[in-house]
Structure 1
């Protein structure tokens, strides 16, 4: 399936679509934790960077070699201009992925390698199940040199961006997964 045909495909509402480098397409429902976490991060970007900051969520970003991604949240340079409806990876200052039960390996391993390889300055993994945020900095050809883990509920995490702005993520606001309900 070509990139243009994928872009025109309508996928079921309430699902997240992952495209593997091996050609597999994975369709998974988005959990409430996932949705709520993205919402909190979007709110934090508005508080930190203003209402008009470019922070696409689940919108394709163009990478070389047809390795396009639609990260849960991206922060792009203020002077970035999209090509059509998409930004280039070169415009991205920060990408954040929210871990879901079906995306653990992808978010922690595959995306870390990919975003580092393409020089994304900051990659943030937000994991509601581990109740932690992993902040990756100093990209290399195979990933990132530095990774710092911050637990939920430990206050505000200021993240300096390469353009001089600071994105502050309030770790006290990140939602916890709902406990499993007993169906007896």
Structure 2
């Protein structure tokens, strides 16, 4: 798609539009809950790990076989170094994905298998619609050997990435969808 075509295109309201280097246009629906949950994750990262901790949000991480991802949040090793313009999956200690209405299957199934296959130590699924955070640990070639669910409103959740630090997610402060008004 040319720059002129992009500038003339009206993209639907409520979608994030990403442009890949290979000419792909990726449109992802965004909700207020999705955005606010990512903001909460980022805030809790700063509180837990400090403002200079190496984290990414919606930034591509290089995986083998062109399976690159731009997770909602990634916590990296402190000694991580960019390879070119990106970090490698081997630098990632924790990935968090926030479920949106259109991404539940991808976040719960596809990403669990992918991140486990690539040995990401902790995969966190935060689901504002189910009111839960699911922590996957002990990666295997097909997913994760250990999975624990935690309900929103159950207080601080301490998650320990492989480097010994503690990331604390405040389950009392995560946003929930508002009931639809009629």
- For Structure 1 versus Structure 2, the TM-score category normalised by the shorter chain is 0.7 to 0.9
Alpha-carbon separation, structure 2, partners of 1:17 and 1:141: 32
Q: In the TM superposition, what whole-angstrom CA distance separates every residue of 1:35-88 from its partner, at most 9, and x where no partner exists?
A: 000000000000000000011000000000000000000000001011233110
SS at match of 1:37: helix
- In structure 1, what is the equivalent of residue 99 of structure 2? 99
TM-score after normalising by structure 2: 0.87
SS at match of 1:51: coil
Runs of 4+ in 1 over 4 A off after TM superposition: 9-14
- In structure 1, what is the equivalent of residue 29 of structure 2? 29
Contact 2:131 2:176 in 1 (8 A): yes
Alpha-carbon separation, structure 1, partners of 2:147 and 2:16: 26
Report deviation, 1:90.
0.0
- In structure 1, what is the equivalent of residue 141 of structure 2? 141
Q: In the TM superposition, what whole-angstrom CA distance separates every residue of 1:19-40 from its partner, at most 9, and x where no partner exists?
A: xxxxx97523210000000000
Unpaired stretches in structure 2, ≥5 consecutive residues: 19-23
Unpaired stretches in structure 1, ≥5 consecutive residues: 2-8, 19-23
TM-score after normalising by structure 1: 0.87
Q: How many residues end up aligned between the 2 structures? A: 171
SS at match of 1:116: helix
Q: CA RMSD in A?
A: 2.3
